[in-house]
Chain A
Amino acid sequence: MVLLDLTLNALATGLLLGSIYALLGLGLAITFGILHVPNIAHPVLVVVGAYAVAYGNLAGLDPFVAAIPAALLFYAGGLVFYEFYYRVFERRGGTNTLQSLTLFFGVGLVIEILLLVAFGADPKSVDVDYVGRSYTIGLVTLPYRLLVPALVSPLLLLLLWIYLTRTHSGLAIRAVAHGEAALGIAGISPRWIKRHAFGLATASAVFGGAALVILGPVGPFSGHAQIGRVFAVVVLAGMGSIPGTLAAGLLIGLAESFVTSFLNPSWSPGVAFAILLATLALRPKGLFGSAS
């Protein structure tokens, strides 16, 4: 009975966590998965999003509601950031991975320190009435701090997926990955579409941040713990696949949850990393990736 209880709860927690991980990795699925821009600063952007949401929450807004206006600002920020990246690298012809990675690394670090200097080392959290309560079905207890973001996540993923597969500019984003020349002929500037996609990815970080800060307090360096996870999600998904992102998130969430429940909670940060390494070594195309 205890074993069944433990298993069912691990399963439920894993699915909820996994759904949230998919949301955290969503922006990276666009920048890294589709555009092949290795934005290792993405987890830091998620943390910034969490801070923005936390301040919106001080004004009494629900985190996900606060995320909507913040997302607009983030979109604009993403455009500016990509423009900078473009001017530094892409225009020089042939992106140098070493340099672009270093740039994102430096930018991420600088943002973290700025957060630390501006807001102090104390983690931020949100005050919403559902945090702390939970929903119980039979043996399974679902805390709302997991349940709410876990339900919002698939919705956002679905929206993005519809956008990418059904709209003109969405299709153009996907086309950009396959060949810029064709896009230029179709009358859309690859630079514009990439900038737009980067803006979307940055905006998605706010929603990731909202999920993260509902889940628990977020400090300036909370992004570090997410790096392994988000890249594991994107690589396991098969670069840029949105349904794959959800599936990969769920898989990683389940793996972490079972390790936490049956082995030792302290090992769970290593799980995503192990999955990432195993994927790279065994199936670099990911679960849902097409050959490239």
Chain B
Amino acid sequence: MRTVALVALAVFVAISGFFAPKLGINTYYFYAGYVVLQYVTIATAWNVLGGYGGYINFGAAAFFGAGAYTAAVLFKLFGVPLPLQILAAAAIGVALGVAMGYLTLRVQGVYFAIATLGLVVVLETIVHNVETFGGARGLTILAPRAPDWFGGQTPYVFFVMLLIAIASVAIAVWIEHSWIGRGLRAIRASENAAECSGVPTLRLKLVACAVSGGLLAAAGAPYGFYASFLEPGTAFSLAVGLNAIAMPLIGGTRSWLGPVLGAILLGSVQQITTVTISSELNILVVGLVLIAFVAAAPGGLLGLWPASRGAAR
């Protein structure tokens, strides 16, 4: 029953997104909505490893930026169409995730987190120094004309991002309710007990790294088309790394709904407030809210709602 309801909801959201351009909505809303959806994807992706498995990734921006640059370079050099760009970006994200996990996960969780911090710096350095990626000057991306139906580039990328977000949430829901999710939650609670209960912990963590990394990179793939311009500072932005963590932790990490809720709330607020306050102050506020939640409400918003504790599963 529940599955049917979720699928129906997903289909409804997708169809709404498809027909929305016909309703004469101001383009700004698609422009702002894209960012919110991007964050829904990022937060959901982060939560697969961070929330379910308890392995924190500070380098969401590295995966996001890797996805954005993979897509942009494939388009610039070979004119690869958008769906293939997204898939290629996801593949790069999977590879990065597995590589990072394989090198660091055998020791202790904290090293994985530290390594992901470093990954952002390294990827940013590479992009800065390789001519193909446009270096510090950045890449200008003149996207091909969007299909006529959408009446413009912005509603089109919005719809593409919507599909990516729906796919990400669907994958997260599936993982959460499958044996993989149960194994990951067991790992988060006690890695040793999980292993002794038959959970192949290393392999499961690598699966989570792969899924999380792939989705994070996919979230970045359409960014070049959205912004028409790609530079290291925005592709590897501090805001992405911070929001990836803050949104799930503020929404609640135990179920897929937490990151979605956190992303919609925080993402919308940030979109509204960028008009009035600077992006730096935005980051500052998110940072402070994050500290407050970590210190006082580790269960996030969903954890504050008592009914969700016992009955969630």
Contact = CB atoms under 8 A, between A and B. Distances in A.
Interface of A: 38, 40, 88, 96-99, 101-103, 105-107, 109-110, 113-114, 116-117, 221, 224-225, 227-228, 231, 235, 264, 266-267, 269-270, 272-273, 276-277, 280-281, 284
28 contacts: A38-B114, A101-B56, A102-B290, A105-B245, A106-B246, A106-B287, A106-B291, A109-B242, A110-B288, A113-B283, A113-B287, A117-B281, A117-B284, A224-B120, A225-B121, A227-B121, A228-B118, A228-B121, A267-B125, A273-B118, A276-B114, A280-B103, A280-B104, A280-B115, A281-B103, A284-B106, A284-B107, A284-B111
Tell which of B102, B117, B120, B298 has the most Cβ of chain A within 10 Å. Answer: B117
A264 B128 CA distance: 13
Given A266-B129, A272-B118, 4 more contacts: A113-B287, A228-B117, A266-B125, A284-B111
A271 B87 CA distance: 30
Contacts, number: 113
Given A113-B287, A276-B115, A270 B280 contact: no
B252 interface: no
A114 B284 contact: yes
Query: 5 smallest A-B Cβ distances: which pairs?
Result: A228-B118, A266-B129, A113-B284, A110-B287, A273-B118
A57 to B, nearest CB: 26
Nearest to B51: A98
Interface string B286-302: 01101100110010000
B194 interface: no
Nearest to B100: A277
B260 interface: no
B54 interface: yes
A117 B280 CA distance: 8
Interface residues of B, number: 42
B32 interface: no
Contacts of A228: 117-118, 121-122
B105 to A, nearest CB: 9
Contact of B291 (A110, A221, A264, A273): A110
Nearest to A274: B122
Contacts of A102: 56, 245, 249, 290, 294
Contact of A103 (B102, B113, B126, B295): B295
Contacts of B129: 264, 266-267
Interface string B158-175: 000000000000000000
Given A99-B298, A102-B56, A107-B291, A40 B114 contact: yes
